[in-house]
Amino acid sequence: MQSISPETIFRGNYAWEKSLPKITRLTKSPLILGRCNYTNNLRNKIFIDLKNQNLNVNYANLQFDCCYEDISLIKNIILENNHDSVIAAGGGKVLDAGKYIADCLNIPCITVPLSAATCAGWTALSNIYTKDGQFIRDVALRSCPKILVYDHTFIKTAPSRTLASGIADALAKWYESSVTSSTIDDGLVQQAIQISRVLRDQLLIDGAKAFKGKLGNNPSWRNTIEACGLTAGLVGGIGGEKCRTAAAHAIHNAITQIITPNKFLHGEIVGVGLLLQLRLEEMKNNNKLADQSIKQLFVLMKELNLPTTIAQLGINVFQDNNLEKIADFTCRDESEIHFLPFEIHKQDIIEVISNFELQKIKI
Ligand SMILES: [Zn+2]
């Protein structure tokens, strides 16, 4: 079974208002799920709008992350109060938690992304972390959300850093799916890979303009946020589980194992993983174009103010056995790194990361 997309998508300015009649037909007692204080105003608006529709609405926040502790707390709130849907309004962690909880309880999930940092509003997938943000596993859900509300007026309020992070994560779709899945003889997978190539090209053309430009009616901004929040999700939906992630996400998952005082966004870490994946392809698979791709990505990432080394993510890999820890987690049996079409050993990861961090290889 494959769930390609949310059942209904509202997009554009005031998509939230346009979605209200549909939402009120679907649910009488929703729980609004959020996390960070920064977006409380938007959730208050959502709450008041639903109250005005005479819905029995309540709200709850994740205390930590999309972690089992928070998930079980929120599940109990829903069961005790007989809520009949979850409206997940926030970033990727909130969307993933909302989808996962709704899937467990067999109630519909409505996703309302409040930034362009993620395509989690679209997909039938949740990533589970520890309370401290260490990646544990991803879980395939039975379906994509029932309704996705991609309201540009909400997304405009998000810090520009979230947009940069979303661009890096969406770019990874092409670099990961093309290396892992291009030999898979399945039309839909091939089409998903080609969509991710067009997505990459659009981001290379429009990404920096979107990041630096004025919001409002800036078409680069509009196309970029929809590329990150919608098209990236569509690629996952069409490609399904055969259209796989690879080293960029495997390295992201490993980097999250190191707990640091400053938290970095998913796409910010994936972007560094992407540069490292390309170095691995160059080193182990004789990919002659990898260096070109690194240079091209590096210029864009600098324009987007994105980190380009693990050190810039606040981690010194040469301290506290960090390099070993990252290499171990990257190469564990269930890691996506093994979807690469060439063998990767722990020593390869150690070598590529230490060279990269020491910048022995000039970019
Ligand atoms: Zn990702």
pLDDT in tens, 15-63: 999 999 999 999 999 999 999 888 999 999 999 999 999 999 999 999 9
C-alpha of residue 81 to centroid of ligand 1, in Å = 33
User: Kind and range of the H or E element at 89?
Assistant: strand 85-90
Residues bordering ligand 1, an ion, CB closer than 5 Å? 169
Mean pLDDT of the chain: 95
User: Kind and range of the H or E element at 349?
Assistant: helix 346-358
User: Kind and range of the H or E element at 234?
Assistant: helix 232-239
Work out the burial of residue 6: count CB atoms within 10 Å of its CB; fewer than 13 is exposed, 13-18 middle, 19 or more buried: buried
Q: What's the whole-number mean pLDDT along residues 196-222? A: 90
C-alpha of residue 300 to centroid of ligand 1, in Å = 18
Beta strand 147-151 pairing with 135-140: unpaired
Of 317, 301, 167, nearest to 257 (Cα)?
317
- Assign 96 a pLDDT band (cuts: 50, 70, 90): very high
Of 82, 88, 99, nearest to 142 (Cα)?
99
What's the pLDDT at 217? 66
Beta strand 109-113 pairing with 85-90: parallel
C-alpha of residue 91 to centroid of ligand 1, in Å = 12
Of 287, 284, 249, nearest to 270 (Cα)?
249
Burial 213-243 (b: 16+ CB within 10 A, else e): eebeeeebbbbbbbbbbbbbbbbbbbbbeeb
C-alpha of residue 266 to centroid of ligand 1, in Å = 6
C-alpha of residue 324 to centroid of ligand 1, in Å = 23
363 pLDDT higher than 80: no
Percent of the chain with pLDDT over 70: 98
C-alpha of residue 232 to centroid of ligand 1, in Å = 9
C-alpha of residue 82 to centroid of ligand 1, in Å = 33
C-alpha of residue 17 to centroid of ligand 1, in Å = 29
C-alpha of residue 142 to centroid of ligand 1, in Å = 19
Q: 3-state DSSP helix/strand/coil percent for the chain, to nearest 5?
A: 55, 10, 35
214 pLDDT higher than 90: no
77 pLDDT higher than 80: yes
C-alpha of residue 162 to centroid of ligand 1, in Å = 13
Whether the CA torsion 100, 101, 104, 108 is positive or negative: it is negative
C-alpha of residue 164 to centroid of ligand 1, in Å = 13
C-alpha of residue 249 to centroid of ligand 1, in Å = 6
C-alpha of residue 228 to centroid of ligand 1, in Å = 10
What are the two backbone dihedrals, phi and then psi, of residue 86, each rounded to the nearest 5 degrees? -120, 130
C-alpha of residue 27 to centroid of ligand 1, in Å = 30
pLDDT in tens, 243-295: 778 999 999 999 999 999 989 999 999 999 999 999 999 998 888 899 999 99
The tokens describing 186, both together, are: 């399945």
Question: Which residues does 247 contact at the CB level (< 8 Å), separation at least 6?
Answer: 176, 273, 276, 277, 280, 330, 336, 337, 340, 344
C-alpha of residue 175 to centroid of ligand 1, in Å = 12
What's the pLDDT at 216? 60
pLDDT in tens, 158-178: 999 999 999 999 999 999 999
What are the two backbone dihedrals, phi and then psi, of residue 203, each rounded to the nearest 5 degrees? -70, -35
C-alpha of residue 88 to centroid of ligand 1, in Å = 18
C-alpha of residue 176 to centroid of ligand 1, in Å = 10
What's the pLDDT at 36? 84
C-alpha of residue 80 to centroid of ligand 1, in Å = 33
The CA distance from 315 to 357, in Å, is 10
The tokens describing 9, both together, are: 């998508």
